[in-house]
Structure 1
Amino acid sequence: MSESTPSLFGPFRLGDLTLANRIVMAPLTRNRAVEGFVPSPMAADYYAARADAGLLITEASQISQQGQGYQDTPGIYTDAQVAAWKKVTDAVHAKGGHIVIQLWHVGRVSHTSLQPGGGAPVAPSAIRAETKTFVSNAFAATSEPRALELSEIPGIIADYRRAAANAIKAGFDGVEIHGANGYLIDQFLKDGSNTRTDQYGGSIENRARFLLEVVDAITAEIGARRTGLRLSPVSPANGISDSNPQALFNHVVEELEKRHLVYIHVVEGATGGPRDIAPDFSFEELRKRYSGAWMVNNGYDLALAKSVIAEGKADLVAFGKPFIANPDLVERLRRDAPFNELDRDTLYGGGAKGYIDYPTLADAAA
């Protein structure tokens, strides 16, 4: 869309969608799925209340039971899960919103109690993640993973493809592949977690192979115009690291440019933490390698969001935690109004409290 000076609150054409504004709700794990890892009935209210955002990205949703790393997170691999998500997408679309689902395999960031048959989590290499997961209503150390056999990798790629097909059945406008924050795709990408010696390890080209095969499988199923991807080049989330992230992600983005994904979503800095943890890393180098929509995230306030849009440094800005306590975040940003206080005790698990009961500006005025 032609705009002399792009505005955070102006419309944006994303693939086949016309977004009402350039504000995106980032994926936010809330641990409220019910039996069968089905989205809670409350999820329809939760997402619909935030449909004023130009685009909603759901909480990360596992592509298989093996892909689960935390208790009570929803999946997108059974008919019951698809049916429950359809209620969410219908509610969001009824409000005029757009919504995509984030597809997730956690890899080594899991616990045996969540895995099929109580088995070990899987990873590119048998290197334990120095982090914790959330099981039995408490944080616990991750379990020791096992390295994936070469013969198992095509099956996981097929799980991604089926999950993408299920997402479209559930009425989603598309999917976001979770390639960030130390989960399975990120584990393959980065040499701190990938010490394989086959075609999925060693060189940058080999370590990027799994991501690109997932991208190719999903785009073959639902099309590139309905497929986005999240990356976190320098975030140490979940104990992840790489010895040369600039070269790695320059290559990754150059390969993605050939595939014309509808957007790339980049976590700048440490996920949920400082933006300046890698001062030598150039996000601008990545941006100039990609001609499609560029979404940024991490630590954005109103002033910074408005400036990166106006200067053309990004096309979309994703806000995370502010959306939890402020279902009307877009209107609060538009008015530069104060935010509700976040109840951190209700972030992970629970019921309606801290989930669908935060007041809006309209509520306060009534």
Structure 2
Amino acid sequence: MRAGKVPADSKLLQPIKIGNTQLQHRIALAPLTRYRNDENHIVNSFAQRYYGERAATPGTLITSEATGVSLQDAGRPHGPAIATDEQQAAWKEVISAVRKNGSVWFQQLWGQGRASEPEYQKKRGYKYRSSSAVPLSEGGAIPEAMTEKEIQRFIDDFVASAKRVITAGGDGVEVHGAHGYLIDQFTSDSVNKRTDKWGGSVENRSRLLLEVVKAACAAIGPERVAVRLSPFATYQGAVSSDIVAQYSYIVRELKAIGPLAYLSLVEPRGDPETMFSNDPDVEGQNLDFILNIWNNHSPVVVAGAYTPASAAAVLESHYAKWDVIVAFGRAFLATPDFVWRAKNGVAPNEYHRESFYTPATEVGYNDYPFSADYIDARRNEVLESLA
């Protein structure tokens, strides 16, 4: 099956540097939580194949699934963590598979907060927690507000996990400050009702995110730290009443910390709450105010349900004056040779939505094929090299 071929001179296929690492094009694998880990939150060995295949085109930015910085922060069954030596050792093998193919690895790190499963946390003896005692949904379990000591422990856990990623061979970490998870539960005034230094004002609600980033930068260097934000997302009820004020402050403060590896932004139409709508209501919403403040301080990764063709077009039009990389999710998870296909005009595989989150199994994970064209091209490359 053929698709529109991305022109060889497209900006989408031009190299770009993030931190200390060089990308050979501007197509990235978006962070995709898949719940394929074992019951101890250790990444299964078959993830080596999954991530290694998607790194098959050298110089690809591979962003991991969101990974808990402690066992408490892996708040659902079969979610990943990188908080123990065994977990770190397993991730080291996955990272090695990516690095062997000449690609770049950033590990997304998070805490889930009230997005955890309350009963799962209770069964393991962990507190079901958030910024404030505000339930995820009406009538749902009410989380406990984190104490000062717990907040500081979360920051320390984040730093420890960031160090583990680098020790395991990763190029950097991506701080998950988006989509209604723990850090975003502090940022959003719809969730954060605190009256101490961690809540109330725009500045106070931004504090946890900024303290995490500062601590991670001090530990591993700002060139190895990235941040993901979803300013317009309403997913999991995390909404800011003044988006421009909240995120203008955050981005200015992030910029002052130092030249981060990159800033990752979810476009309004990439909000999980609305992205499956045929016509999401995003009229007048865009990320321009953030990109203007950031002003090419370092590259920006954007995600917004793009195809290779539409991504190539937007880099030449709306994002022409900025250093932008485009992250792909559903099509990339279903297509191990996604980058090669984009370059050669071969359509991606159809994804199977029902098996996105099938726990601890390769079904819906490693059962997507390479294209026959890619296989033929690889065979010819090997034969030519032998000749």
In structure 2, distance between residues paired with 1:195 and 1:280: 29
Matches within 5 A, 1:68-87: 68-87=74-93
Give yes or no for the alignment of 1:341 onto 2:350.
yes
- Sequence identity of aligned pairs in percent? 38
Indicate conservation of the 8 Å contact 1:246/1:281, yes or no.
no
1:151 — aligned with what? 149
In structure 2, distance between residues paired with 1:22 and 1:359: 23
What are the ranges of 5 or more consecutive residues in structure 1 without an aligned counterpart? 132-140
User: Which residue of the other structure, out of 23, 31, 35, is the alignment partner of 1:31?
Assistant: 35
In structure 2, distance between residues paired with 1:277 and 1:64: 37
Matches within 5 A, 1:2-151: 7-51=11-55, 52=57, 54-115=60-121, 117-130=124-137, 143-151=141-149
Larger Rg: 2
Cα distance, 1:68 vs structure 2:
2.0
In structure 2, distance between residues paired with 1:276 and 1:15: 34
In structure 2, distance between residues paired with 1:41 and 1:82: 12
2:369 — aligned with what? 359
Cα deviation, 1:40-93, whole Å, max 9, x if unaligned, reads 100100000011262000010100122123220110100000000010111111
Indicate conservation of the 8 Å contact 1:109/1:121, yes or no.
no
In structure 2, distance between residues paired with 1:282 and 1:250: 13
**Matched residue type, 1:179:** G
In structure 2, distance between residues paired with 1:69 and 1:23: 30
Indicate conservation of the 8 Å contact 2:62/2:105, yes or no.
yes
Moved more, 50-59 or 94-103: 50-59
Indicate conservation of the 8 Å contact 1:8/1:305, yes or no.
yes
TM-score (norm: length of structure 1): 0.91
- In the superposition, relative to structure 1, how do residues 79 and 363 fare at CA in structure 2: closer, same or farther (>3 Å)? farther
Greater relative CO (CA pairs within 8 A, separation 6+): 2
Indicate conservation of the 8 Å contact 1:6/1:312, yes or no.
no
In structure 1, distance between residues paired with 2:170 and 2:34: 19
- In the superposition, relative to structure 1, how do residues 209 and 345 fare at CA in structure 2: closer, same or farther (>3 Å)? same
In structure 1, distance between residues paired with 2:71 and 2:369: 35
In structure 2, distance between residues paired with 1:148 and 1:284: 34
What are the ranges of 5 or more consecutive residues in structure 2 without an aligned counterpart? 1-8, 377-387
Show structure 1 runs of 4+ deviating over 4 A. Answer: 363-366
Indicate conservation of the 8 Å contact 1:110/1:142, yes or no.
no
Indicate conservation of the 8 Å contact 1:120/1:143, yes or no.
no
In structure 2, distance between residues paired with 1:192 and 1:282: 21
In structure 2, distance between residues paired with 1:160 and 1:277: 35
**Matched residue type, 2:220:** I
**Matched residue type, 1:171:** G
1:136 — aligned with what? none
In structure 1, distance between residues paired with 2:331 and 2:40: 29
Aligned residues: 353
Cα distance, 1:278 vs structure 2:
4.3
Moved more, 102-111 or 63-72: 63-72
Indicate conservation of the 8 Å contact 2:91/2:168, yes or no.
yes
Higher helix share: 2
